[in-house]
Structure 1
């Protein structure tokens, strides 16, 4: 193994069911998992020959959906693990890890429309506790979580900590999808505007920031997703978010703290700003100006199968990972593929509560 500065690469997959906007018409009475069952094996074949500096192939963390939407439509929070357990455990047997991906989807019984619940915190905590218990009964005690739409409150964050989750890698540092209070009966609500880019143990009072010395801290480690901080790309991301939401405050936020994130399945030209930022971060770490970077990224399974998008595709993953490995090596560091579990165990001990 190289003795160079190590840069862990943590790749998560939110194993959501297929999205109608991506793959076309879907039944309303059940969830469809073609992206998971067909896309994941295709991805594993596509990147099987890639190696990090330890000689290991890409390691993935497959985050199993378990939440009220799954229970309502299929009868059990842990249905995905029950129905596809052999497939998912087979991935773990190959060196990958299984984690948890809960959404706060809730059905409006009057309109029959699913929406992201952001007001009823007691309901949110109930869903987390019950879904976690169901996964445990089905044989999975998850060590890692990525939340649906990266949404959290300090109460939901502390609940995961109490449940024994070791790594949370939802945050998009510097990004948010609303100003003030999140919209109700809507979706894609999150706020990580104050979150740093380095791993940290969150404050129990505000999960977005590290606990300071003497302040109650979560035992669970937070690994923020990698974001590009270039002004042009950050402004482009802010403009897109402001256009989608009609909230011009998000454009001002992007000017103050430019942040840009995109899935590893994206076109290489759009993923390139993320990679360039890694090279700059390694240079800063080697100069002693900041800690070594950790590159966490994610994707969805239906981005791996033929879809309507002009942006996301299976072929892009290999090209992006090759470029990422090359960038890290050219910068004089050693790329290391890691599952979320391995990151928490191997690199988490180095993370301390801030002074």
Structure 2
């Protein structure tokens, strides 16, 4: 029987802004530019499908949180405003997920920062954000902004009935200052049900685990030369990044069994002006995935988190086996 390489592609659908500029959100063009980049990507995927005979599926993780509400007086403005576009993506086989950011505004300092301590505020942000987006779509998947979780937030999203979380970056952590704070240093690469005591791991006692399935992002080792410029040894796999980086992802795939490649990108990553990130890089990496998998005699299956969990996972005693 042919082994499979499952490929999940998620898009953290954030607006094209510099977050350190408090007035950077401009309703007239911020989301329009973001949406235009998505439309260009879908056109490119259509051409790719004709050439390869395979159709990549995207999980669109959409913003619905307090920052969006403050800026547009609507918790899920980009979801409602472009609802027809998202419905088109569902018809093409894509999935709609949720991408809440814990951005909180400090009026005294006139800055946005990542709130990770005030659980009452976090509850309000996540509960309202989920409530509003779930009016428009059934949300089965979530990817937290900046990949942040702690036991409290994992418990909260699990209580919403969301089935899949894609926030984990195995083995990585970042202390940050005002943003980009996360801790997955004890997490392995395999999907698991998070422990109620430590969201980063699975508990050997199934009764101590959450019902939500964690599907970690795949990591790659930064090429040795580039470590002169990049402090991290390992990074999460961004499919729009230059192939000189992304090709290292194939070193972390176990080719003699069912394997999972969980990658991501942002709308700002698929422009044409940046040599490091681009729409062309996205397509080149897609081609490399298929070419290398075929050489290894693996069948490539582009899939959404919901399809992965429902069709290709067997759960026994809370242990996940890919089939």
State the TM-score, normalized to the length of structure 2.
0.90
Alignment of 1:126-275 (within 5 A): 126-137=124-135, 139-178=136-175, 183=177, 186-228=178-220, 230=221, 233=223, 240-241=230-231, 259-275=234-250
> What SS does the aligned partner of 2:188 have?
coil
Cα deviation for residue 303 of structure 1 reads: 1.6
Deviations 1:262-284 (A, max 9, x none): 41111111111013332xx113x
Counterpart selection for 2:93 from 85, 92, 95:
95
Cα deviation for residue 327 of structure 1 reads: 1.4
Partner Cα separation in structure 1 for residue 185 and residue 192 of structure 2: 15
Partner Cα separation in structure 2 for residue 130 and residue 194 of structure 1: 30
State the TM-score, normalized to the length of structure 1.
0.82
8 Å contact from structure 1 (residues 275, 323) kept in 2: no
> What SS does the aligned partner of 1:294 have?
strand
Q: Which runs of 5+ in 1 are unaligned?
A: 243-253, 286-291
Counterpart selection for 1:339 from 287, 292, 304:
304
Cα deviation for residue 347 of structure 1 reads: 2.5
- Residues 1:294 and 2:257 are matched in the alignment: no
Alignment of 1:18-33 (within 5 A): 18-20=16-18, 27-28=24-25, 30=27, 32-33=30-31
- RMSD between aligned alpha carbons? 2.8
Counting strand residues as a fraction of each chain, which structure ranks higher?
2
8 Å contact from structure 1 (residues 237, 260) kept in 2: no
Deviations 1:208-257 (A, max 9, x none): 001212441111111101112x4x64896698347xxxxxxxxxxx5xxx
8 Å contact from structure 1 (residues 211, 354) kept in 2: no
Q: 1:282 is matched with which residue? A: 255
Q: 2:288 is matched with which residue? A: 323
Cα deviation for residue 136 of structure 1 reads: 2.1
* Aligned residue-pair number: 318
Q: 1:245 is matched with which residue? A: none
Partner Cα separation in structure 1 for residue 277 and residue 150 of structure 2: 30
